[in-house]
Structure formats: C-alpha cells, structure tokens
Amino acid sequence: MNLVWTIAKRELGGYFTSPVAYVFLVIFLLLAGFFTFTAGAFFERGEAGLAAFFAWHPWLYLILVPAVGMRLWSEERRAGTIELLLTMPVTTAQAIIGKFLASWLFLALALALTFPVIITANVLGDPDNGVIFTGYVGSLLLAGAYLAISCMTSAMTRNQVVAFILSVVVCLFLILVGFNPVTDLMVRWASPAFIDTVAAFSVMTHFDGFQKGVIDSRDLLFFLSVIGFALFATGAIIRGHRAG
C-alpha cells in the first residue's frame, strides 16, 4: 500500500512539474463552462440544477481523459523506465494501481475546480444539492472508467498518440451503444431486448441515474467493473510484452 502511494505521488508530481497540467486544467474549465453556459443554455433553462453541466461530461471526458491517461504506460515503455519500475520490489498490480490513482486524483482535482458552478446555481436559485452531489460522484466514476480504458490502451503501445486514439474509440463506443439518437436508429433493425442488452454496457445508461440524484448499486457496480476489468487487462498486456 505504501508503495502504491509512493508511485502515485511520483506520478502526480510529474503532472505539475510541466506546464501541461495547468494548460489541461484551464482547458477543462473553459470547456466545461462553455458547454454548460453556452451550449447547454444554463441560464435560459430557468431551472435550478446542474443538469446542463453534467450532461456534457461524457463528451467532454471523451477527449480530455484519454489526454491525461495516454502517457501512463506508453511513456514508461518508450523511455525504458518501465524496466526500472518493475525491477523494484513492487508487483505489477501495485504499479498499475498507483499510476491509475494518481491520474484519477488529478481528474478529481479538475472536477473539484468546477465548484463555481455550484455556487452560481445556489446564488441564482435553489437547487437540490443532493442531486448535485450524486452528479459529481457519477462524473468522477465516469472519468475513472475512461481513465482505466486509457490506461489499458497506453499499455498497448509506445506511442502516446496511438494510445490516445485507441482510447477515444473505445470510450466513444461505450457512449454510443446507449446514446439515444443511436439507439433510436437501431430500433429499425434490432429487437428491443437486443438494444437493452447492448445499452447495458453503455456509460450513458449508467450515468443517467446519478444525474437524477440516485446512486443505484448496479450503476456503481458497472463503473467499478469497467475500472477493474480495464486495469486487469492492463496487467495482462504488460505481462504479455515481457513474456515475449
């Protein structure tokens, strides 16, 4: 456990020694603001709540989370530091979890910096802060799921750009199978049972509940399973490279 934290600390420190982290935070906040207030018509809705804010998160994260996660393992492999890291007395699992947690913390920080929207909503109206809270929980889990997938794709290649693209494709798939415009199209040729089954794998389906103020154990389980599965796959991929 100590070693997980040591690895996470190093990784997190790495974000802040370069200007990239700050640039990322600024872009994240600008985009979150733009989507909420302009594209999401926050003021015109005349409702007190952050629905407009959270509704964009699956799309916002689609680009930003892979950008944070793409370097996790690809850079270790490219620079050869993976050899150093994995010949220290740690298990591969500890290393994977440590690096994942660091990036997740970083995303949590980015999310936490959106607190002005809570204040704005509370100043302008009388929102249900419980719903806002579950919305944040859902958003953090969503970011975690995307991040675990980016972690997996970054273990597949030495090239960060390739890792980024692969990650976007997988995450996009997880959005689209439950995205209403897409499921509406599928109705024409697929049975409703099929559509429901496929949609059960979508982050959209499971993200919805959190926005309505409900923390459903199935939704929780879904996100945690995606994270668990993707990190497990990361381990298998890393071991695979070394097995030759």
Partner 1 sequence: MIRIDNLVKTFGPKRAVDGVSFSVERGEVLGFLGPNGAGKSTTMRMITGFYPPSAGKVTVGGHDVTESPLEAKRLIGYLPENAASYPDMTVRGFLEFCAEMRGMDAPARKKALARVVERCFLESVLDQSIDTLSKGYKHRTCLAQALIHDPEVLVLDEPTDGLDPNQKHEVRNLIRELGKTKAVVFSTHILEEVDAACSRAIIIDRGRIVANGTPGELRALSDVAGAVTLHAQGASEEKLATLGRVEKLNGSFRVYPADKTASAELTRAIVALADHEGWKLDALRTEEGHLDEVFRRITLPDTVKRNG
Q: How far is the CB of 159 from partner 1 (least distance, A)?
A: 17
**Long-range contacts of the stretch 123-127 (C-beta < 8 A, 24+):** 124/43, 124/48, 125/47, 125/48, 126/48, 127/48, 127/49, 127/50
Among 38, 91, 197, 225, binds partner 1 (CB under 8 A): 91
Q: How far is the CB of 229 from partner 1 (least distance, A)?
A: 24
Q: Which is nearer to partner 1, 80 or 130 (CB)?
A: 80
Residues 47-86 as x/- pattern, contact with partner 1 by CB under 8 A: --------------------------------xxx-xx-x
* Residue 217 is a binding residue for partner 1 (CB under 8 A): no
* Residue 3 is a binding residue for partner 1 (CB under 8 A): yes
C-alpha span between 85 and 108 (Å, rounded):
25
C-alpha span between 135 and 241 (Å, rounded):
39
* Residue 231 is a binding residue for partner 1 (CB under 8 A): no
* Residue 13 is a binding residue for partner 1 (CB under 8 A): yes
* Residue 22 is a binding residue for partner 1 (CB under 8 A): no
**Tokens encoding 66:** 């892979």
The answer to whether residues 113 and 26 touch, using CB atoms and an 8 Å cutoff, is: no
* Residue 21 is a binding residue for partner 1 (CB under 8 A): no
Q: Which is nearer to partner 1, 71 or 206 (CB)?
A: 71
Reference 101, options 207, 12, 228; nearest CA is 12
Q: Which is nearer to partner 1, 10 or 218 (CB)?
A: 10
* Residue 236 is a binding residue for partner 1 (CB under 8 A): no
Question: Helices marked H in the chain — which ranges?
Answer: 2-17, 20-33, 51-55, 57-69, 71-79, 81-86, 92-112, 115-124, 129-156, 160-176, 180-186, 192-199, 203-211, 217-243
* Residue 242 is a binding residue for partner 1 (CB under 8 A): yes
C-alpha span between 32 and 40 (Å, rounded):
10
* Residue 122 is a binding residue for partner 1 (CB under 8 A): no
For partner 1, the binding residues (CB under 8 A) are: 2-3, 6-7, 10, 13-14, 17-18, 79-81, 83-84, 86-91, 242-244
